[in-house]
Chain A
Amino acid sequence: MGNVRMSRLRAFAARVLGLFGPRKRDSDFDEEVQAHLQLLADRFVAQGMPREDADAAARRQFGNATLLQEDRRELRTLVSVEDLGRDLRYALRSLARSRAFTAVAIATLGLGIGASSAIFSVIDNVLLEPFPYKDSGRMVFLRIVDTARGQEGGRQGYTSNEFLEFANLIHVFDGVIAASDDLVLYKQGEGVELLYGAHVTPGTFEFFGMPALYGRVLQPAITSLEHRRYS
């Protein structure tokens, strides 16, 4: 069974190869056929047949060479692919002849494809891949719940000690970060802007897989100096 499949695969591979450079092999084959016909005719002559009759007899015995050439072409290449190439060339020629139709067709296709890809990129951003972070599907937001009381909700804030415990003692996470938000005043030239800022723990940018848009990300050497803890 496997043997049959292998040999089919090989024949298919030979045909795919046949798509490239088949012309040389055609002439090879012509040469072979001519030699064969010649040898057959010579043989008939040697048996006492007149030369002209011998050539005809040789062709008869050989069979229909044109038909054979067709069989070979079918065996050797994927005829459908060759046909496809011919159809493509024909289509291009027809399009080149009727310019107006071609322009309308291209405009229609362009608008259609453009609209579809715009819709897709919206869906992709909103539904499929809404966050620009690396592996956003693996990020979780932890919440502390008192199971004894069975209350819903729980607590989302952590003390520094709780965070350090998560970060240093629990190894089920690849990384743990924490942040507290704060309003900051950003002074630029003449004016002052109010921005939402955040104090973040070291490794936050690496955690999200994002580069800093401006300046540089937190370096361990600097942050360890300012490793202050609030409770």
Chain B
Amino acid sequence: MTEAKKSEVLQGTLDLMILKTLQALGPQHGFGIARRIEQVSRDVLQLNEGTVYTSLLRLLQQGWIAAEWGTSDNNRKAKFYSITRRGEKQLAVETENWQRISGVVGRVLRLEGER
């Protein structure tokens, strides 16, 4: 494994990251979301930006986000996504889930040989 290798985005975590991004930054278009995730992940994550749109569609179908056509900063037509009330609730649940799971995994990985 080379040091510069980026990690793949874990299955299912992209939805969570997008929900959080929309909650933190307000309405965003797909490009904005991709930039934000790239920025926060400090180039650690390998993200096929197209998958952001698949994830957005999934979230739309669940009713956790809403979409609306608008105009972007540079006067382009763009679809803006925003988190819904149901989405906020879901985010809270998922965040707690994630912290619990990652906590457990972290503890397991830290186990020293206690045989």
> CB within 8 Å of B: which residues of A?
3, 7, 10-11, 14-15, 28-29, 31-33, 35-36, 38-40, 61-65, 68, 71-72, 75-76
A35 touches B78 (CB 8 A): yes
A63 touches B48 (CB 8 A): yes
Specify the chain B residue showing the minimal Cβ separation from A14: B61
Q: Which residues of B contact A35 (CB under 8 A)?
A: 29, 31, 76-78
User: Provided the pairs A10-B63, A14-B60, A28-B79 are in contact, do residues A36 and B49 lie with their beta carbons within 8 angstroms?
Assistant: yes
Among A36, A75, A76, the most chain B Cβ lie within 10 Å of the Cβ of A36
Q: List 11 A-B contacts (CB under 8 A).
A: A7-B62, A7-B63, A11-B61, A32-B79, A33-B53, A35-B29, A36-B31, A36-B34, A36-B53, A64-B50, A75-B61
Q: Which residues of A contact B60 (CB under 8 A)?
A: 14
B57 touches A76 (CB 8 A): yes
**Cα of A35 to Cα of B79 in the assembled complex, Å:** 10
> CB within 8 Å of A: which residues of B?
29-31, 34, 48-51, 53-54, 57-58, 60-63, 76-79, 93
Q: Which residues of A contact B76 (CB under 8 A)?
A: 35, 38-39
